[in-house]
Amino acid sequence: MNGTDGRAPLSVVTEDLRLSVDGTALDVRSTGDRLFVEVPSVRDAYRVARRLPSGRVARGPAMLLTATDLTAEIRVRGRTVVVVGADARPGLVSRELGVAPAEIRLAGALGAGKSGLSAAANAVRRRTD
């Protein structure tokens, strides 16, 4: 990207993109320079995370996103739990978990967990009423 052009060198436009990891369907949408990957539940997020590569192999996509000035947000139940790419700001949690250059968002992860527990409680309540 040069100093006179404020646009990202790569732009992604999606209307109806769906990924699947280990049988878990992930909806993807974008705003051009930001991808939003929606994971349906905390359990699905855990299953997907276990199937993803780690170490050096995992750094490749992060480097590609950064080089092309793109950012991906991994969202669970509507809350951002991981940011990878140009706008990611990995902190202590990311380094301790060994996932840097990804940024872990604890508030998003806790909020997704709480939302999942509330949904489960509501489902049980509906069955017993």
Q: What is the pLDDT of residues 94-121, one digit of tens each?
A: 889 888 889 999 999 999 989 888 888 8
- Strand partners for 25: 20
**pLDDT confidence of residue 5:** 54
Q: Which of 96, 68, 101, 95 is nearest to 83 (CA)?
A: 101
Overall average pLDDT of the 3-14 stretch = 62
Task: Check whether 46 has a pLDDT greater than 50.
Answer: yes
Query: What percentage of the chain has pLDDT greater than the value 70?
Result: 88
Task: Check whether 2 has a pLDDT greater than 50.
Answer: no
- Higher pLDDT: 80 or 5? It is 80
Q: What is the pLDDT of residues 51-73, one digit of tens each?
A: 877 766 667 888 889 999 999 99
Distance (Å, whole) CA 4 – CA 48: 39
- Residues in Cβ contact with 34 at an 8 Å cutoff, skipping those fewer than 6 apart: 70, 71, 72, 73, 87
- Tokens 């380094």 — which residue? 95
Sheet with 79-85, edge to edge strand ranges: 17-21, 24-30, 34-39, 71-76, 79-85, 103-104
Overall average pLDDT of the 25-46 stretch = 91
Taking the CB of residue 106, how many other CB atoms lie within 10 A of it? 10
**pLDDT confidence of residue 115:** 86
- Could you tell me the pTM of the whole model? 0.79
Task: Check whether 49 has a pLDDT greater than 80.
Answer: yes
Distance (Å, whole) CA 111 – CA 129: 27
- Strand partners for 18: 27
Distance (Å, whole) CA 60 – CA 42: 25
